[in-house]
Amino acid sequence: MIFWFRFLAHWPLWALHAIGQVIGWLAWLLSPTYRRRFLANVKTAGLSGWQVLGAVGQAGCMSTELPRLWMGRQPKVEWTEGAFQVIEAAYAEGQGVLFLTPHLGCFEISAQAVANAFSAAQGPLTVLFRPSRQKGLAQVMEASRARPGLETAPTTLAGVRQMIKALRAGRSVGLLPDQVPPEGMGQWVPFFGKPAYTMTLAARLALQTGAKVVLVWGERLSWGRGYRIHASVLQDELASDVDAVVLQINQAMERLILTRPKQYLWGYARYKQPRQEPHA
């Protein structure tokens, strides 16, 4: 698999995205289970199929762009007006920065863009990392994700301690808060009005360290033109308890997703039961 990733890493982004569009639509057409889940999630969010039609192909792009992002030259990245300044201000507070990114657009480029722009002055960005269960893909991820300015933390107690240490040193941490955590590491909280098992880790990190919480995501531009980074503060004041902050985060994710519903991963099993996993 590493050979194919290295081969595709040299392809232009527009070609990878074109292949991704085809793969996304094939998955939609050939998998009734995936299609039903996709449409059910869209309906739960109060949207119509026409409003999210582009998300079918975008889901495929999310996979086919990985060789370029992990092993190739970084594509063009631009920042929305004020996004860079939001992150600068968050670092300037000196309490660390907790970056939250939903399954929206290209979350790989979000971490790379932040690391490239800020790690030299602010230290590396630590991202939560769960190795793939597929041996070939796990090898690719291990060989490619260790980029300058980026560190990975495993989904274990040791990884949590690593993230707390980074935040207390004034550095930054990145999480996907709409990812379903293992049993015992989350709670049932409304997401678009339907109970979804939601991680408490992000809320606990914010409350325990006082880190500034910043929402960041990478918009996938059309025709392989690159990516656009969006960033905003979660809100000026967080609630004082974990339960309330988890709800605040879910509500913020909802608002963010609705700004670009055609780039959200609607086929993700957001409402599934959490898996059982031994704690390390």
pLDDT tens over the chain, length 280 residues: 677 778 888 999 999 999 999 999 999 999 999 999 999 999 999 999 999 999 999 999 999 999 999 888 989 999 999 999 999 999 999 999 999 999 999 999 999 999 999 999 999 999 987 766 666 666 666 666 567 898 888 888 888 999 999 999 999 999 999 999 989 889 999 999 999 999 999 999 999 999 999 999 999 999 999 999 999 999 777 888 999 999 999 999 999 999 999 999 999 999 999 977 654 4
pLDDT score of 191: 97
Instruction: Give residue limits of the domains in the chain.
Output: 75-259
Sign of CA pseudo-dihedral 81, 247, 273, 162: positive
The overall average pLDDT reported for the chain is 91
Task: Please tell me the predicted confidence (pLDDT) of residue 279.
Answer: 46
Please, are residues 83 and 230 in contact by the beta-carbon 8 Å criterion?
yes
**pLDDT for the residue numbered 112:** 93
pLDDT at 239: 84
| pTM (two decimals) | 0.92
Q: What is the pLDDT of residues 198-251, one digit of tens each?
A: 999 999 999 999 999 999 999 999 999 999 999 999 977 788 899 999 999 999
d(CA 150, CA 122): 12
